[in-house]
Amino acid sequence: MFIVLFLILGCQTEGLEPGELKSQIEETERAFAQMASEAGIHEAFLKYAADEAILIRNSRAVEGKPAIAEYFSQHTDEGQTLVWEPRKIEVALSGDLAYSFGDFTFTQIDSAGINQTLKGNFCTIWKRQPDGKWKFVVD
């Protein structure tokens, strides 16, 4: 009996309920989106990426935060905006992994000075860090 109780309590995440964890992800998504709007897309992605993050761009997986920084150094985010809103967030029972799914709008000014807009869906996988913050591991 004691072992079962220990195992059940050991699997809980510091007393946080699933709804609280979902709220944390939603708050993280909103702060991430706000930073992308205010400081730039690249800076925001680097701040919210876990060290082992994988960024999927143009059918290519860019693996690890240093590689993501290098990828961004070769591409500009000037004249670009990225706005997104999560529609669904699910958290693993362990409380350490989650995903968010939603809609995004990406706008950039092309070489002719015309705004080009791309709308679509996103799915981000989040991992809770040792300090309790959430960072994305796949985007």
Place of tokens 């959430």: 134
Calculate mean pLDDT across residues 33-54: 97
User: Domain spanning 16-138 has what CATH number?
Assistant: 3.10.450.50
Q: 17 or 34: which carries more pLDDT confidence?
A: 34
How is 72-118 classified by DSSP, letter by letter? Answer: HHTS--TTEEEEEEEEEEEE-TTSSEEEEEEEEEEEEE-TTS-EEEE
Angle in degrees, CA 36, 60, 138, rounded to 5: 50
Query: Per-residue confidence at 11, pLDDT binned at 50, 70, 90?
Result: very low
Which residues have C-beta within 8 Å of that of residue 90, sequence separation ≥ 6?
22, 98, 99
DSSP 132: S
pTM for this one? Answer: 0.85
Query: Per-residue confidence at 63, pLDDT binned at 50, 70, 90?
Result: very high
User: Residues 100, 88: contact at Cβ < 8 Å?
Assistant: yes
pLDDT digits (tens, 9 = 90+) for 102-112: 999 999 988 88
